[in-house]
Amino acid sequence: MPSLTTPAHLEDLKVEVLFARKAKPVWVTVCTGTGCRAYGAEALADGFEKEIENRGLGRRVGVRRTGCHGFCERGPLVIIQPKGICYLHAQVKDIPEIVDKTLLGDKVIDRFLYLDPETGQRVHQAEEIPFYKHQQRILLENNVLIDATSILDYIAVGGYSALAKVLTKMTPEAVLQEVKRANLRGRGGAGFPAGVKWETTRNAPGVPKYVVVNGDEGDPGAYMDRSLLEGNPHSVLEGLIIGAYAIGASEGFIYVRQEYPLARKHAQIAIDQARDYGLLGTNIFGSGFSFDVKIHRGAGAFVSGESTALMNAIEGHVGEPRPKYIHTSEKGLWGKPTCLNNVETWANVPFIMNRGAEWFRGMGTEGSKGTKIFSLVGKVMNSGLVEVPMGITLRDIVFKIGGGVPKGKKFKGVQTGGPSGGVLPESLLDLKVDFDELDKVGSMMGSGGMIVMDESTCMVDTARYYVNFLAHESCGKCVPCREGLRQMLKILDRITAGEGREGDIELLEELADFMEMASLCALGRSAPNPVRSTIRYFRAEYEAHIREKRCPAGACAALIQYEIDQAKCSHPPCGACARACAVDAIQKVKGGGYMILQDKCIKCGSCYTACPDRFHAVCKVPVKPAEWKIPLPGVESELRAQM
Ligand X SMILES: Cc1cc2nc3c(=O)[nH]c(=O)nc-3n(C[C@H](O)[C@H](O)[C@H](O)COP(=O)(O)O)c2cc1C
What does the alpha-carbon distance between residue 127 and residue 133 come to, in Å, rounded to a whole number? 5
* Residue 33 or 422 with smaller CB distance to ligand FES: 33
* Segment 400 to 429, residues that bind ligand X, using CB under 6 A: none
Q: Which of 48, 71, 114, 289 binds ligand FES (CB under 6 A)?
A: 71
What does the alpha-carbon distance between residue 137 and residue 370 come to, in Å, rounded to a whole number? 11
Is 617 a binding residue for ligand FES by CB under 6 A? The answer is no
Query: Which residue's C-beta sits nearest to ligand FES?
Result: 33
Instruction: Give the Cα-Cα-Cα angle 161, 343, 305 (nearest 5 degrees).
Output: 160
Q: For ligand X, which stretch binds (CB under 6 A), given 102-110, 334-342, 378-386, 392-400? A: 334-342
Is 524 a binding residue for ligand X by CB under 6 A? The answer is no
Is 364 a binding residue for ligand FES by CB under 6 A? The answer is no
Q: For ligand X, which stretch binds (CB under 6 A), given 53-61, 175-183, 338-346, 549-557? A: 338-346
Is 69 a binding residue for ligand FES by CB under 6 A? The answer is yes
Is 519 a binding residue for ligand X by CB under 6 A? The answer is no
Is 341 a binding residue for ligand X by CB under 6 A? The answer is yes
| Closest C-alpha to 115, from 382, 354, 357 | 382
What does the alpha-carbon distance between residue 468 and residue 463 come to, in Å, rounded to a whole number? 8
Q: In what order do the strands lie in the sheet with 61-66?
A: 61-66, 26-31, 78-81, 85-87
CB of 214 to ligand X, least distance (A): 4
| Closest C-alpha to 44, from 63, 72, 25 | 63
- Dmax (CA) of the chain: 89
Is 554 a binding residue for ligand FES by CB under 6 A? The answer is no
DSSP per position, 100-162:
IIIIIT----GGGSEE-TTT--EE-BGGGSHHHHT---STTGGGGT--TT-HHHHHHTTTTHH
* Residue 262 or 453 with smaller CB distance to ligand FES: 262
Is 448 a binding residue for ligand FES by CB under 6 A? The answer is no
Q: Which DSSP category does 448 fall into? A: S
What does the alpha-carbon distance between residue 145 and residue 149 come to, in Å, rounded to a whole number? 12
User: Are 603 and 557 within 8 A, CB to CB?
Assistant: yes
Q: 437-466 mask for ligand X (x: CB under 6 A)? A: ----------x-------------------
CB of 122 to ligand FES, least distance (A): 19
| Closest C-alpha to 500, from 464, 546, 468, 454 | 546
Is 522 a binding residue for ligand X by CB under 6 A? The answer is yes
Is 87 a binding residue for ligand FES by CB under 6 A? The answer is no
In single-letter form, the type of residue at position 250 comes to S
CB of 340 to ligand X, least distance (A): 5
Cis amide prior to 631 (ω within 30 degrees): no
Q: Which of ligand X, ligand FES, none does residue 214 bind to, with CB < 5 to 8 Å depending on kind? A: ligand X
Three-state SS string over 65-87 comes to EECCCCCHHHCCCEEEECCCEEE
Q: 15-54 mask for ligand FES (x: CB under 6 A)? A: ----------------x-xxxx------------------
Is 86 a binding residue for ligand FES by CB under 6 A? The answer is no
- Residue numbers of the site for ligand X (CB under 6 A)? 186-190, 192, 214, 216-218, 302-303, 305-307, 340-342, 345, 447, 521-523
- Residue numbers of the site for ligand FES (CB under 6 A)? 31, 33-36, 68-72, 75, 77
